[in-house]
């Protein structure tokens, strides 16, 4: 099935008659993609352009259903030959062939906790020879009783059609485990120096989220470890040992999007409170504030802690969404196929049922485009030819393929 769509930025033109021409877009018109009232009434951004950036020129995008028959796909990763590797929340790992056939589940995946938001979560793959790969999985790991926590296991995957797993072992376990079905994170990103970045969540309970401010806990953190599970000596809290030695940055709510930009820097997007989804560029040892500072309000309608959005020593987000997009999955596009998107951040949206495209000027957001998608976008991947693949989170889940219209 194929449809041709244009972005919600084009719709926004109707309500933004005072827009200015977008920089670098011949004949394009900028407009805000957000017209609803903010949840954080009375709150102000810390700097110009921190939220509600001008609308970027509308893109024409052709959307094709590439694969069907998936049960709540959570992550999609492209292989160099055009195959896709997909996780399903209930604990299955599958290969989708280059012509869209969904193969049988791969054996050897760890047991997962599927309560609430738990399950088999992210997959990250790195070539390790002809039809051989280093493969890492993140998942909600049962830890006894009703406790659970985010874990990551890595091993070797091989095969020219389907894949077989071998040598899979757990290299990261979030501490402490918690009795909760929410906010596991979790994305895995291979860095360029044989280390991994792993994102975690605050476990969605008031009695757990204070751990985001404690470096000795890996709740609400970006973690950086080696492929053997060791903590690099140059991590910011390495001298403290234990779980703290694994921590890269802290004060995060629930990071479900992470990617390296072309310069090798890590960027993340996290689910915030009502009116506080955040784009960040996490730096070593920095504190991104949750729950001490936050934009928006709590989901119960009350202020978050003291209701402040800034405090000395706590980092501001590069960008925030109010109202939220419910972000999950992120890439920086290479520009291979969508040449106008080169270097742009593409971010999936769950509740917003959208693909958000951010144009960046240095470390600031210069424009935003909201592309409507029929379904909850859980993850985003780029194929070897530059096509964009979206994992649609549903019991009758599917993979969509985006090409220029």
Active site residues: 183
What does the alpha-carbon distance between residue 170 and residue 111 come to, in Å, rounded to a whole number? 12
Give the single-character DSSP code of 49: T
With beta carbons less than 8 A apart as the criterion, state whether 199 and 268 touch: yes
- Tell whether the torsion through CA atoms of 346, 375, 390 and 72 is positive or negative: positive
SS3 56: coil
3-state helix, strand, coil in the chain (%, to 5): 5, 40, 55
What does the alpha-carbon distance between residue 201 and residue 209 come to, in Å, rounded to a whole number? 9
- Degrees (nearest 5) of the Cα angle 337, 370, 326? 110
Contacts of 101 (CB under 8 A, 6+ apart): 67
Rounded to a whole number, what is the largest CA-CA distance in the chain? Answer: 61
Give the single-character DSSP code of 154: E
What does the alpha-carbon distance between residue 30 and residue 165 come to, in Å, rounded to a whole number? 48
With beta carbons less than 8 A apart as the criterion, state whether 86 and 93 touch: yes
Structure tokens at 82: 């055009």
What does the alpha-carbon distance between residue 267 and residue 304 come to, in Å, rounded to a whole number? 24
**Other CB atoms within 10 A of residue 249 CB:** 27
Q: Give the C-alpha distances (Å, rounded to integers) separating 191 from 78, 196, 269.
A: 17, 6, 17
SS3 405: coil
Alpha helices in 79-212 (DSSP H): 206-209
Question: End-to-end CA distance of the chain, in Å?
Answer: 14
What does the alpha-carbon distance between residue 381 and residue 60 come to, in Å, rounded to a whole number? 19
């Amino acid at each position: 099935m194929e449809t041709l769509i244009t972005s919600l930025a084009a719709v926004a033109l109707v309500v933004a008659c005072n827009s200015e021409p977008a920089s670098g877009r011949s004949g394009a018109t900028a407009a805000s993609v957000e017209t609803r009232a903010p949840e954080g009434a009375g709150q102000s951004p810390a700097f110009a352009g921190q939220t509600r950036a001008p609308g970027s020129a509308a893109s024409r995008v052709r959307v094709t259903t590439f694969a069907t028959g998936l049960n709540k796909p959570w992550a999609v990763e492209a292989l160099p030959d055009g195959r896709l590797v997909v996780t399903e929340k209930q604990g299955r790992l599958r290969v989708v062939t280059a012509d869209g056939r969904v193969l049988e589940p791969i054996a050897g995946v760890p047991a997962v906790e599927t309560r609430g938001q738990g399950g088999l979560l992210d997959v990250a793959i790195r070539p390790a020879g002809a039809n051989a790969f280093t493969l890492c999985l993140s998942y909600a790991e049962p830890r006894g009783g009703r406790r659970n926590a985010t874990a990551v296991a890595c091993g070797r995957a091989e095969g020219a059609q389907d894949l077989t797993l071998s040598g899979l072992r757990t290299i990261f376990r979030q501490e402490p485990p918690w009795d909760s079905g929410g906010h596991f994170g979790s994305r895995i990103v291979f860095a360029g120096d044989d280390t991994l970045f792993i994102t975690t969540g605050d476990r969605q309970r008031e009695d757990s989220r204070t751990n985001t401010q404690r470096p000795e806990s890996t709740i609400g953190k970006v973690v950086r470890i080696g492929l053997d599970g060791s903590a690099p000596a140059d991590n910011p809290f390495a001298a403290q040992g234990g779980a703290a030695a694994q921590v890269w940055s802290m004060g995060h709510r629930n990071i479900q999007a992470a990617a390296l930009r072309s310069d090798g820097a890590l960027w993340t997007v996290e689910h915030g409170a009502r009116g506080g989804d955040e784009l960040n560029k996490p730096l070593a040892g920095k504190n991104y504030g949750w729950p001490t500072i936050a934009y928006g309000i709590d989901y119960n309608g009350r202020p978050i802690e003291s209701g402040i959005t800034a405090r000395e020593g706590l980092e501001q987000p590069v960008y925030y969404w109010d109202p939220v997009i419910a972000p999950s999955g992120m890439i920086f596009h290479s520009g291979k196929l969508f040449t106008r998107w080169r270097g742009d951040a593409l971010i999936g949206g769950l509740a917003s049922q959208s693909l958000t495209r951010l144009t960046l000027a240095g470390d600031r957001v210069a424009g935003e485009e909201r592309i409507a998608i029929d379904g909850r976008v859980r993850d985003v991947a780029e194929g070897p030819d530059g096509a964009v693949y979206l994992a649609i989170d549903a019991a009758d889940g599917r993979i969509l393929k985006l090409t220029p219209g």
